A and B are shown apart, each in its own frame.
Chain A
Amino acid sequence: MEEIVMKGKTGRYSLIASIVSSIVIVVVFLALALLKNSGRANPLYTDVDIMAGMIFVFILSMIVSASVWPGIIEKRLK
């Protein structure tokens, strides 16, 4: 029973951790993009670049995070 509860917790915590870390990476991406655009007469990145980039970065970050976090959380819970 304990094992089942732990498994459920691991899944839930991993999902939250993956979403949070992916959002952090996307925010970093957004911040860097805005920083590079600021102070330029002709912005380097269009809004489409930034939006599409954020989506792509989020997807890749989620894949990476979802692979990394379950192992870390399982170790912590044990």
Chain B
Amino acid sequence: MKETIGIFGMTCMHCHKRVTDAISKVKGVKSVDVSLENKSATVEFEDGVTNLNAIKQAVTDAGYEAGEKTFAEPDQEAQQSVQVCPVLIEDDKGTVQKPAAKQGSGAATTISLKISGMTCAACAANIEKILKKNKGVESVAVNFSLAKAHVEYDPSLVSVADMIAAIEGIGYTASRKVDKKESEDRERKAREDEIKKQRINLIIAVVLGIPISFGDMANAFPNLLWFVPSFLTNDKLLFVLTTIVMIFPGRQFFVGTYKGLKHGVTDMNLLIATGTGAAYAVSVAATFLDMGPGYMHTYYDTAALLIAFIVLGRYLEATTKGKTSEAIRKLMGLQAKTARIIVNGVEKEVPVEDVAVGDIVVMRPGEKLPVDGVVTEGLSAVDEAMITGESIPVEKNPGDTVIGSTINKSGSFRFRATKVGSDTALAQIIELVENAQTSKAPIQKIADVVAGHFILAVHVLSLLAFFFWFFIGFEMFGVGGSEMFAGISPFLFALLISITVLVISCPCAVGLATPAAIMVGTGKGAENGILIKGGESLEMAHKINTIVFDKTGTLTRGEPQLTDVIQTAKHSEEEVLRMAAIAEKGSEHPLGEAIVKGAAARNINVPDAESFKAIPGHGVEAGFGGKRILLGTRRLMADNGIDVTHLNASMEKMENEGKTAMLIGVDKEAIGIVAVADTLKEHSKDAVDRLHKMGIEVVMITGDNARTASAIAKQVGIDRVLAEVLPEDKASEIKKLQAEGKIVAMVGDGINDAPALTQSDVGIAMGAGTDVAMESAGIVLIKNDLLDVVASIRLSRLTMNKIKQNLFWAFGYNSIGIPLAAGILYPFYHTIIITPALAAAFMAMSSVSVTANSLLMKRSRIK
């Protein structure tokens, strides 16, 4: 029988050979002809011995996709895989290797992988280590709290399949993050499953742990615990109860250790397994064997309580961990589920995923906008608070843009969809926040190094402590003769100390200190319309001592407005403005538009001029009611023989204030002046004042002349002005400030600000700005409000304080806890201060406290 099947994923002759070999090995295959060009394989096989499914399975096992033969292009996913050689070569131990023949193209791409099976920060370090070993992986950031890995890699050198295989090779599972909604549902389910599992484990451990503890302690202190029933003190019963604890709640630590060791990695499970295993083994031996003096006492309570406390820690961690990533869930919750679109002239309700660009969407009051678009008909007010933070609904008229996930408040309207799916503003915000939460702040490097070597260091310390107490301490400090440990053997005492050292150590607290705070910080930012693109920007923002503001569009509104009207004695202000507006009504110049808008704002009726002429560089000339109106410069007036000496003082005053002043002449008489200027945004002055109070120098950069720039700077209270700077020189001005030793943030919104945003230590793009500016910035402010610049710096300072507190706590806890556990105070108090069970309780609380401290940030105000 001869059949042809489609093979997807082959990129080179190596793939060709691998597929040929895989199919040839199937029993019953007589011949195989693989075509790299046609992406197919023609197979001749004995029907009855094998079948097409078995052949397809062999292809799949070799790392390729097999399907029906088709001459059409495979789907996009398959197309993608064609770019990437998915070949996995396994050695005899199942280790995944890369074929040596691949060459890098140098084009890096990024991917987020969902990781399962991590139990502590050491696991995250293990995954980072194994991924970095893959040739072509440029950077990796594994977030333990989010259970995600963000990898930057060269697809020509390493494939996603390779990376997944490498992760799975060390005992974890990994998958591509697919649809966000689906991924979120899966994450929530996994978290709920973990909470449920740990809750059951906790109940078993506590229910059995309490009688075990009472029973075991009653053996040691019968007078103190007289009320404990005698059957509970039976070692064999304690053995049975503890064995149940070890098998059910305790199994996870041993299974985790086994998986880790099998793949050559160590994690938190190993510390716990060694500690509880040693206590249990010694107790079992004491129960069933006669080991002589010093071995009468059992330590079942130690093993059971250790497990109970650590399971309690894992339960609390599972419940609090979900709260740190609440921001993403809140953002996802904003998305609409359905949309009403016009299909063949009829309104039809469809799932939001089915809305395509160009569809006309119908909106009624109270409904949530499904996608981004442009209003085509109707009027309404839309509540955009969830995206921009603006509490007042924004009026929408035909031609205005609308954002998906905002709420239509009052009227009905229709809009044309312009951005759908992952292109919508909300989807991009979610993506940005998610990436930021997975990214690492430079401060985390220290914590990563420590967490990566922590387990090894703790085992070394535990071994040293054992040697010390076995050979030196036990005899030197008379432990065997002490009241508390009378009759204890040197081995058991040294073992107790050794176990306590293992159990008290908490790499989780060290590993969680930074990511937990960054997650809460970036999430809080997103809730307030401040999008921080990564940990690096977040960390750098708290260090800045100089902020450079672009003038036009950032500090000012970016469009001129009518500011002053000066009239001569014989004329009224209204008459002067009316004449100026009549002259400018036909003009398309921004200054003219500002005058006409100014007149309209004062409810002045402005009729059309009978004639209109623009005089380039000088002004305009118009005819109205038989009169000749001139509006423009001194030169225009002089050329027409109009005396303006009586208006010179006012003209100069306004020019010194940075305004553009224009004289108005009617026939041969100068009747007044109108002045136009780019005005400050509502909160510009307030923002600059607050930045000053924070000890930050504020600089303004502009292409305007020094006089105009100084006038604006004076109004807003800015210390230093960089005027007459050409757009291409803005970046070099930032460089000069950096050369002065300053840490500079640049706030801008235009395309011409992009180089300066990139050059600065922290680029802050205003939300109403261009995509290029937002791409170049480390922080994006969704709302066009300068007070958010202040809020973002406050947020950065708050987050960094939390990180420092967390790291101080985590390092401090381990630095104090480990020596205490090693019995450093025994010589002074003749007792061990921390028992293994107490150590387990401390350890469990340590990582929970780091997460809880980070969550406290949610209560802080940044505005």
Chain A interface (Cβ < 8 Å from any Cβ of B): 1-4, 7-8, 11, 25, 29, 32-33, 36, 44-46, 48-50, 52-53, 56-57, 59-61, 63-64, 66-68, 70
Which residue of A7, A49, A60 contacts B490 across the interface (Cβ within 8 Å)? A49
Known contacts being A57-B466, A64-B459, A67-B266, is A8 close to B91, with CB within 8 Å? yes
Which residue of B270, B463, B471, B489 contacts A48 across the interface (Cβ within 8 Å)? B489
Query: Does B93 reach chain A (CB closer than 8 Å)?
Result: yes
Query: Does B318 reach chain A (CB closer than 8 Å)?
Result: no
* Residues of chain A lying within 8 A (CB to CB) of residue B261: 66
Q: Which of A7, A11, A56, A59 has the most CB atoms of chain B within a 10 A radius of its CB?
A: A56
CB distance from B107 to the nearest CB of A (A): 24
Q: At the interface, is chain A mostly helix, strand, loop or mixed? A: helix
Q: Verify B282–A52 contact, CB threshold 8 A.
A: yes
Q: Top 8 nearest A-B pairs by Cβ distance?
A: A4-B91, A49-B491, A48-B291, A60-B463, A67-B456, A52-B491, A53-B491, A64-B459
Q: Verify B95–A7 contact, CB threshold 8 A.
A: yes
With CB as the reference atom, state the residue of chain B lying closest to A14: B264
Query: Can you list 9 contacts pairing A with B, beta carbon distance less than 8 Å?
Result: A7-B97, A11-B264, A33-B470, A44-B475, A48-B292, A49-B489, A57-B467, A64-B463, A66-B261
Q: Verify B490–A45 contact, CB threshold 8 A.
A: yes
Which residue of A4, A64, A66 contacts B89 across the interface (Cβ within 8 Å)? A4
Instruction: Return the CB mask of B271-311 against A: 1 if under 8 Å, else 0.
Output: 00010001000100100000111110000000000000000
Measured between alpha carbons, how far is A57 from B470 in the docked complex, in Å? 11
Measured between alpha carbons, how far is A68 from B463 in the docked complex, in Å? 15
Q: Verify B491–A59 contact, CB threshold 8 A.
A: no
How many B residues face the partner with a CB closer than 8 A? 39
* Residues of chain A lying within 8 A (CB to CB) of residue B91: 4, 7-8
Instruction: Return the CB mask of B92-110 against A: 1 if under 8 Å, else 0.
Output: 1101011010000000000
Q: Verify A60–B489 contact, CB threshold 8 A.
A: no
Query: Does B405 reach chain A (CB closer than 8 Å)?
Result: no
Instruction: Scan residues 45-102 of chain B and give those whose CB is less than 8 A from a CB of chain A.
Output: 89, 91-93, 95, 97-98, 100
Measured between alpha carbons, how far is A1 from B89 in the docked complex, in Å? 9
* Residues of chain A lying within 8 A (CB to CB) of residue B489: 46, 48-49
Chain B interface (Cβ < 8 Å from any Cβ of A): 89, 91-93, 95, 97-98, 100, 261, 264, 266, 270, 274, 278, 282, 285, 291-295, 455-456, 459-460, 462-463, 466-467, 470-471, 474-475, 489-491, 494-495, 498
Which residue of B97, B285, B490 contacts A44 across the interface (Cβ within 8 Å)? B490
Measured between alpha carbons, how far is A72 from B362 in the docked complex, in Å? 67
Measured between alpha carbons, how far is A64 from B502 in the docked complex, in Å? 13
Measured between alpha carbons, how far is A11 from B93 in the docked complex, in Å? 10
Measured between alpha carbons, how far is A68 from B91 in the docked complex, in Å? 23
* Residues of chain B lying within 8 A (CB to CB) of residue A66: 261, 264
Q: Verify A63–B471 contact, CB threshold 8 A.
A: no
Q: Verify B294–A46 contact, CB threshold 8 A.
A: yes
CB distance from A14 to the nearest CB of B (A): 8
With CB as the reference atom, state the residue of chain A lying closest to B282: A52
Q: Verify B97–A3 contact, CB threshold 8 A.
A: yes
Measured between alpha carbons, how far is A77 from B795 in the docked complex, in Å? 49
CB distance from B469 to the nearest CB of A (A): 11
Known contacts being A56-B466, A56-B498, is A48 close to B491, with CB within 8 Å? yes
Q: Verify B495–A56 contact, CB threshold 8 A.
A: yes
CB distance from A20 to the nearest CB of B (A): 17
Known contacts being A46-B293, A56-B498, is A63 close to B274, with CB within 8 Å? yes
Known contacts being A7-B93, A29-B467, is A59 close to B264, with CB within 8 Å? no
